[in-house]
Amino acid sequence: PWRWGSFQGAHLREALPFLLIGFTGLLQSRTDLYCVAVFCDSRDLAQYQVFVNRLIDLQILANLIVRPFVKYLYRLPGPTLRRLAIRQFFLAPLLFLPGLGLIYGLMHFWYGFDITPNMYLFGGFFVWPVYAYIFGVYRLNALNRQSRVVFISGIAILVNLALNLLWIGPFGPTGALAASAVSQLIPGVFYGTVLWSRNAGPEG
């Protein structure tokens, strides 16, 4: 028979790391938006929210590409994942650069927003690292090291918040997006270390 106590003790403990991963991932992708909401006017907030949501769609594309092969990614040795990460990193511009072009058309012709070139530049760097470091996320999940994924996201959130507080005043929404782009280097470095480390698990 089903018991609430057993559910709390076992299932919740098993699910908690994944809940934390989802929460920190959401917060990491929204830190800049919350700062824009606090420090910028409603017009800047509206434009920024629409623009950044489209950039997040390009990030999601990285996960959609590998999603059909997840069960194989969990079984692949470190060197193979490294090769896949490198390959996808260099092929990613073939996907997200046309995506940025579509976003430009949408922003300019559909919404009538005047998004500066610097926003598209920082938007590209905001999107690009995800295509490579997503393999590091799967590597840590395969090794049951979800707590490290949460830790990496937490560091990225703090860096993002600190840079937003520094840059959003003088640079406005452009500073917020620049902060998010720079903060993407944090998971990029950490997950790159995971993929290149010989101590991250069996090499196959």
Average pLDDT, the chain: 86
AA identity, residue 76: L
* Domain residue spans of the chain: 20-196
How far is Cα 122 from Cα 160, in angstroms, rounded to an integer? 14
Percent of the chain exceeding pLDDT 70 equals 83
Q: Which DSSP helix (H) or strand (E) runs through 120?
A: helix 117-127
Judged against a pLDDT cut of 80, whether residue 99 lies above it is answered with yes
Tell me: pLDDT of 82 over 80. yes
pLDDT above 70 (res 16): no
Q: Is the model's pLDDT at 138 over the cut of 80?
A: yes
Q: How far is CA 128 from CA 53, 60, 85, 102, 119, in A?
A: 15, 11, 12, 16, 14
Helix pair 78-91, 185-196: axis angle to 10 deg? 140
pTM (two decimals)? 0.85
What pLDDT, on a 0 to 100 scale, did the predictor assign at position 14? 60
* pLDDT tens-digit series, residues 153-191: 889 999 999 999 999 999 999 999 999 999 999 999 998
* Residue 203 binned pLDDT confidence (cut-offs 50, 70, 90): very low
